[in-house]
Amino acid sequence: MIPKKVLITGGGGFIGSNAAEHYLRKGTEVIIIDNLSRKGSDTNLKWLKTTGSNFKFQNIDIRDHKRLGEFFKKHSDIDTILHFAGQVAVTSSLVDPRYDFETNALGTFNILEGMRNYCADAVLLYASTNKVYGSLEQLQIKEGKDNYQLIKYKKGITETFALDFHSPYGCSKGAADSYIKDYSRVYNLKGIVFRQSCIYGEHQLGIEDQGWIAHFIIRAILNRPITIYGDGKQVRDVLYIKDLLEAYDKAIEKSNKIGGDVFNVGGGVQNQISILQFIHFLEDELDKKFDIKFKDVRAGDQKIFISNNGKIKNSLGWSPQTKWKIGVRKLIKWVKENQELFENF
Ligand SMILES: NC(=O)c1ccc[n+]([C@@H]2O[C@H](COP(=O)([O-])OP(=O)(O)OC[C@H]3O[C@@H](n4cnc5c(N)ncnc54)[C@H](O)[C@@H]3O)[C@@H](O)[C@H]2O)c1
């Protein structure tokens, strides 16, 4: 099923602008809501315009329930909502927890209310995070030369792991994640939650606080120093944006069966890398040595997270297709071609 009319909140952001391009190419009518608070989100919208596709943009802050309500009332024929707008960094959530709460928890609640009141038959996909599982300190971990390794759960973390919201960001995303699950249950809505690992790809305007793969590539290409928080052995399973969009397609297709369901979605075991391994790969690819500094590990930073994609594979027939080195090379190419975007980063 190809959506006819999709609302993308946070459509000026990395995942949102890629999703907009993806659905515009399929002929879907796309409406983007964004308050353009993320630096560079306006440049993503400019890029979307150059693709020649027709999308509508509304500068609405999702904290503003009145404006959102009016918006939903006017657009009750929306059949798909991709909810990406949010405060995205753990670090910023510690500095301004109220803003984080209002955007992620209350903002999501406002979206749910708009949906319940005006387009209750729509599908809602929410970009939640693996941070809802907390710092996972209970895991038995082996320390390798340049990475951490799981001793048990070698296939990764499943959805059955206990929720343990850690940091204001973990709490606000976790609250939104739980609200979507419960609204689907009590109001019979088709809300689907993706607990996503690190996503990377073109149009990711990575900064030190969020989007580390793009951030390191941008710093390396611009010959700027790089800071690693912790020992750099932290491991993440990384997922290329185009693979994530395939997973959204499959979830929308099967939304009648999976409303209210939750899936871990990441690069999985095959696409696990540590920061140090990534840096070494990048130095080889760019053929230069970087100026690297180490600082104290950040609060709540998981030593290792690998998504077990078993549930989404069984339910939707989805698994990641892009090997991390291939996807990262595409991002390197994009950053090289768009260096002017990052001069003031
Ligand atoms: N990128 C990842 O690796 C990753 C991993 C897990 C979960 N997520 C989630 O996916 C979503 C999208 O992430 P992204 O990497 O594209 O981030 P992004 O910062 O590039 O995009 C978020 C967009 O939301 C907009 N926004 C922020 N606050 C808003 C508000 N109050 N009202 C309206 N718009 C607002 C920003 O301007 C930005 O364009 C986020 O909810 C994030 O928590 C991302």
Q: Is the pLDDT of residue 1 over 90?
A: no
Residue 302 confidence (pLDDT): 93
Q: Is the pLDDT of residue 87 over 90?
A: yes
pLDDT digits (tens, 9 = 90+) for 325-338: 999 999 999 999 99
Positive or negative CA dihedral for 244, 250, 253, 258?
negative
Catalytic residues: 169
Structure tokens belonging to residue 238? 């990384």
Model confidence at 19, pLDDT cuts 50, 70, 90, reads very high
Mean pLDDT, rounded, for 89-103: 97
Model confidence at 54, pLDDT cuts 50, 70, 90, reads confident
Residue 51 confidence (pLDDT): 86
* Ligand 1 and 15: CB distance under 6 A: yes
Going from the Cα of 289 to the center of ligand 1, the distance in angstroms, rounded, reads 32
Residue 293 confidence (pLDDT): 96
* Ligand 1 and 196: CB distance under 6 A: yes
Residue 299 confidence (pLDDT): 84
* Ligand 1 and 84: CB distance under 6 A: yes
Distance of CA 1 to the CA centre of its chain: 23
Going from the Cα of 106 to the center of ligand 1, the distance in angstroms, rounded, reads 15
CB atoms within 10 A of CB 4: 12
* Ligand 1 and 34: CB distance under 6 A: yes
Residue 345 confidence (pLDDT): 78
Structure tokens belonging to residue 121? 């038959």
Ligand 1: residue of 60, 68, 88 to mutate (most ligand atoms within 8 A of CB) is 88
**If you average pLDDT over every residue of the chain, what do you get?**
97
Model confidence at 343, pLDDT cuts 50, 70, 90, reads confident
Q: Whose CA is nearest to atom 10 of ligand 1?
A: 127
Residue 342 confidence (pLDDT): 92
Q: How large is the angle between the packed helices 324-337 and 212-221, nearest 10 degrees? A: 50
Query: Rounded CA gap, 265 and 159, in Å?
Result: 10
Q: Is the pLDDT of residue 52 over 80?
A: no
Residue 117 confidence (pLDDT): 98
34 CA closest ligand 1 atom index: 34
Mean pLDDT, rounded, for 207-228: 96
Report all structural domains of the chain as residue ranges with CATH numbers, in order of start: 5-342 (3.40.50.720)
Q: Which of 261, 120, 284 is nearest to 180 (CA)?
A: 261
CB atoms within 10 A of CB 143: 11
Going from the Cα of 90 to the center of ligand 1, the distance in angstroms, rounded, reads 12
pTM value > 0.85: yes
Mean pLDDT, rounded, for 76-95: 97
Residue 53 confidence (pLDDT): 78
- Of 2-6, 15-19, 283-287, 339-343, minimum mean pLDDT range: 339-343
Q: Which of 171, 193, 57, 180 is nearest to 111 (CA)?
A: 180
pLDDT digits (tens, 9 = 90+) for 104-152: 999 999 999 999 999 999 999 999 999 999 999 999 999 999 999 999 9
Query: Rounded CA gap, 48 and 121, in Å?
Result: 28
Mean pLDDT, rounded, for 196-214: 97
* Ligand 1 and 92: CB distance under 6 A: no
Residues 165, 195 contacting (CB under 8 angstroms)? no
Residue 102 confidence (pLDDT): 98
